[in-house]
A and B are shown apart, each in its own frame.
Chain A
Amino acid sequence: DVKVTQSSRYLVKRTGEKVFLECVQDMDHENMFWYRQDPGLGLRLIYFSYDVKMKEKGDIPEGYSVSREKKERFSLILESASTNQTSMYLCASSLGQGESPLHFGNGTRLTVT
């Protein structure tokens, strides 16, 4: 089974802090994704990556950046955390072919105070 591991389940940060969310997958998947999930809204894509050192903006990239230095690791960075970035963050990976299903981590619940 594919395993996607997010380094933290819960994080509490202060406004203005730089925040790093880490994600590692163990199945050599080409594609990796960062979503945020808020009540009453569908998952919203922040950034995704098709390959090492490659990144593409999703629907809501403002205030975020990403890093993919190795194939198995995809990091989400909040440059200066704000209270409206309080949310559940989900990392996912998939094979690079066709409509491959996404494999998700268990999420990081981030609270910015």
Chain B
Amino acid sequence: EDQVTQSPEALRLQEGESSSLNCSYTVSGLRGLFWYRQDPGKGPEFLFTLYSAGEEKEKERLKATLTKKESFLHITAPKPEDSATYLCAVGGDSNYQLIWGAGTKLIIKP
């Protein structure tokens, strides 16, 4: 069965303290892994798509990486405005629609 698990559920960091969020997945035939950011009271906002193991993508302080079993969202020297819930979703061959993780709530303290 296709499955996506995100960890930790919540992460509190000091401003400037780098860390990583994890998205572990089980899917037959990965079509794509997606990262989204969701601010309180808003819909998710697209960040990255990764298609194959070894692929990396960067945007400002965020860098997403992909292996055959998991993806990491690395955040370097975060700022308070990076506080949000980060969602991971996976598309596989057996299910046309995306499978979503429950998200990681990231809080960056000034």
Q: Using a CB–CB distance below 8 Å, which chain A residues touch chain B?
A: 4, 40-45, 48, 58-59, 90, 92, 99, 101-107
Asked whether A107 lies within 8 Å of B43 as measured between CB atoms, the reply is yes
Q: Contact check: which of A42, A59, A101, A105 meets B4 at CB < 8 Å?
A: A42
Q: Contact check: which of A44, A48, A99, A102 meets B44 at CB < 8 Å?
A: A102
Query: What residues of chain B lie closer than 8 Å to A106, measured between beta carbons?
Result: 41-43
Asked whether B100 lies within 8 Å of A99 as measured between CB atoms, the reply is no
Q: Contact check: which of A42, A90, A92, A104 meets B103 at CB < 8 Å?
A: A42
Q: Chain B: interface residue count, which band?
A: 20 to 34
Whether, in the assembled complex, B49 has its beta carbon less than 8 Å from a beta carbon of chain A, the answer is: yes
Segment 14-67 of B: residues with Cβ below 8 Å from A: 31-32, 34, 36, 41-46, 49, 51
The 4 closest A-B pairs by CB, nearest first: A104-B43, A42-B100, A99-B32, A101-B46
* CB-based A-B contact count at 8 angstroms: 50
Whether, in the assembled complex, B84 has its beta carbon less than 8 Å from a beta carbon of chain A, the answer is: no
Query: What residues of chain A lie closer than 8 Å to B99, measured between beta carbons?
Result: 42
Q: Using a CB–CB distance below 8 Å, which chain B residues touch chain A?
A: 4, 31-32, 34, 36, 41-46, 49, 51, 87, 89, 91, 97-103
A-B contact pairs, 19 of them (CB 8 A): A4-B43, A40-B102, A42-B87, A42-B99, A42-B101, A42-B102, A43-B98, A45-B98, A58-B97, A59-B97, A90-B43, A90-B44, A99-B49, A101-B34, A102-B34, A104-B43, A104-B44, A106-B42, A107-B41
Q: Which residue of A has the minimal Cβ distance to B95? A: A59
A102–B91 Cα gap in the complex (Å)? Answer: 12
